[in-house]
Structure 1
Amino acid sequence: MSLHHHRLIKAVLLILLSACAQPVQARSERIISLAPNLTEFVYALGAGSDLVGVIAHSDYPKQAQHKPIIGNYQHLDIEKILSLKPTVILSWAAGNPSQQLAILRQFHIPIVDISPQHILQLPAITRKIGRAIGREQQAEVLAQQEQAQLDHFTKDYANKTKIRVFYQIWQHPLITISAKSWLNDALQLCGGTNIFANATTAYPQVNLEQVLSSQPQAIILSSRNKQGAKIWQQWNTPAKHHLILLNPDWISRFGPRLVKGIQQLCQQLNTLRLSKHDTP
């Protein structure tokens, strides 16, 4: 083999090695999010610039508020969605109109359904979204962080003295959660016992007598629900002195800020334990 051929082969090898050394670039997508929590995931994975349309109430982060709104939980603007030429749609089957999702599928647009049933699925959901929008590396980093935080909650709180709680979703009518809601997982992680865990539906309607007779030690509700907190002051229940107010954007959205909501819940339940002279 001639010297010229040796030099040519060496040059080709250097070019190939140089190409392999380049960082993998995330592919560019045109993403539509059909739930506020999914919008948060897209931004958390660094793909906010690829987001071309969002559902109503996608208010975090602030940049999301400037994205085109393509509908709400009751109605999707099919024509507007198609005009945005999405390459992938992230859906929340439980909160999106099923008939309109079926129409969108007829246009052969990839629709990735994100419908978690349990909080421990959070890292897997993060990875699934990462694969769907071409952000696998970013998703893996975030998923590992989430797993570490969930493991921390289990280690530090799950085995502490149980506290009986009533988790109030709404007051008129009085709505709570059962073990079929993923919010119940948060209670278990934090060492709480849901007084309506055995209800047959995920979000059952109950009455005041049922709550009072179950003798909860604490009542959990949204920090924005001032009216919901007031209704307990007129009743003779110790729980009215232990109202746990949680940030609804953290705990009620199955998104990247969910771990902050769980942490807030765990800390407040533990404060109640300490006030009852329990060993930390």
Structure 2
Amino acid sequence: MRPVRNFGAVLAIGIVMVTAACGGDGDDAAKGGANGAQAVVVQAANGAVTVPARPKRIISLAPTHTETLFAIGAGSQVVAVSDFSNYPAEAPRTKLSGFKPNAEAIIAYKPDLVVVSDDLNGVVKALEKVKIPVLLEPAPTKLDDAYDEIDDLGLATGHAAEARRLTGGMKAEIQRTVAASSKAKGLTYYHELDNQLHSVTSKTFVGQVYGLFGLENVADKADKATGGYPQLSREYLLKQDPDLIFLADTKCCGQNGATLPKRPGWSGLDAVKNKNVVEMDDDIASRWGPRLPEFVKAIGDAVQKVQ
């Protein structure tokens, strides 16, 4: 199974602040020192989680959240990240697994905050039993949820202002990219997750990103109660003949523009003949964090080329 590929359902994310009797905003309450540190409460998918002000020993078991923590300036507070957290390079990568989390191994790092995107092996309850705050921030179903999760991490780590600046910049960059590619409506596309022809439909987070451009997803008609991630047949894809092909399996499966014509029948596809095959970074195309605008730009650039 490939990592961080299934964008599951997400609960609505909200933020609640624990303030002193005299009041105060999120940034002030997150500060420590002489002003008196206040814990914060973050409303995550596992409920209201109380987090100490500016936690100093954070563990991230999700590559997307690792990227976010460093992007908002909380990198120095991170003591360990999961084995698949390969970006940024300075992240303290360990053998901790986000897919088969081991509570004892996590506890050994003495964390004061653990961030996960999935509650596997009952890790959330196991850590809560020993009073370790855990934020469950699952894969989002829409863009607003992705931005809310970044804001959650900002609040939890004492970097609320930085998180807001990050999401504001992301939104603006994505809007500019989409506006420059407004004539994409009517073009069809195929997004490939692996060389077994697994794809995404428009109901998934990835599919909704493509939907910003008005692109039509050839996988939508093939989805039959597969949760938005159907495995397409070669015959079906050849019949659909998409205008654009996006390969999100260049790293995992070694796929690129040169390998597609070698597949039976694929050399006749319009996207292959017209060189409208887009080689994507697997990680960027599967994560919903700070590098999301890069994913959007890759789509926008491809659309511009077709036009």
Q: Tell me which residue corresponds to 2:39.
A: none
Superimposed CA distance per residue, residues 146-173 of structure 1 (whole angstroms, 9 cap, x where no aligned partner): 12123223433355333101111111x2
Task: Tell me the TM-score normalized by structure 2.
Answer: 0.73
Q: Tell me which residue corresponds to 1:81.
A: 106
Unaligned runs of 5+ in 2: 1-30, 33-52
1:255 aligns with 2:289: yes
2:117 partner amino acid: W
Deviates more, 1:254-263 or 1:183-192: 183-192
Contact 1:221 1:243 in 2 (8 A): yes
Q: Answer 1 or 2: which has greater helix percent.
A: 1
Superimposed CA distance per residue, residues 241-276 of structure 1 (whole angstroms, 9 cap, x where no aligned partner): 321111222222111111111111111121112xxx
Q: Tell me which residue corresponds to 2:76.
A: 49
Distance 1:238 1:41, change over 3 A: same
Task: Tell me the TM-score normalized by structure 1.
Answer: 0.80
Q: Tell me which residue corresponds to 1:32.
A: 59
Q: Tell me which residue corresponds to 1:17.
A: none
What SS is found at the alignment partner of 2:202? coil
What SS is found at the alignment partner of 1:37? helix
Superimposed CA distance per residue, residues 197-256 of structure 1 (whole angstroms, 9 cap, x where no aligned partner): 242322111110111112211211034344465244441221223211112222221111
Higher relative contact order (CA 8 A, sep 6+): 2
Higher Rg: 1
Tell me how many residue pairs correspond in the alignment: 247
For residues 261 and 189 of structure 2, the distance between their equivalents in structure 1, rounded to whole angstroms, comes to: 14
1:272 aligns with 2:299: no
Contact 1:70 1:77 in 2 (8 A): no
Match of 2:270 among 238, 248, 251: 238
Distance 1:191 1:245, change over 3 A: farther
Deviation beyond 6 Å, 4+ runs, structure 1:
none
Matched ranges for 1:59-138 at <5 A: 59-64=86-91, 67=92, 69=94, 71-93=96-118, 96-115=119-138, 116-138=140-162
Matched ranges for 1:210-221 at <5 A: 210-221=236-247
Q: Tell me which residue corresponds to 2:214.
A: 191
Q: Tell me which residue corresponds to 2:20.
A: none
For residues 207 and 268 of structure 1, the distance between their equivalents in structure 2, rounded to whole angstroms, comes to: 24
Distance 1:226 1:69, change over 3 A: closer
- Give aligned-pair identity as a percent: 24
Unaligned runs of 5+ in 1: 1-23, 274-280
Question: Pairwise CA RMSD of aligned residues?
Answer: 2.4
Contact 2:100 2:121 in 1 (8 A): no
Superimposed CA distance per residue, residues 59-114 of structure 1 (whole angstroms, 9 cap, x where no aligned partner): 111111xx252522432232221121211111102xx5242333222222221111
For residues 147 and 101 of structure 2, the distance between their equivalents in structure 1, rounded to whole angstroms, comes to: 28
For residues 98 and 193 of structure 1, the distance between their equivalents in structure 2, rounded to whole angstroms, comes to: 38
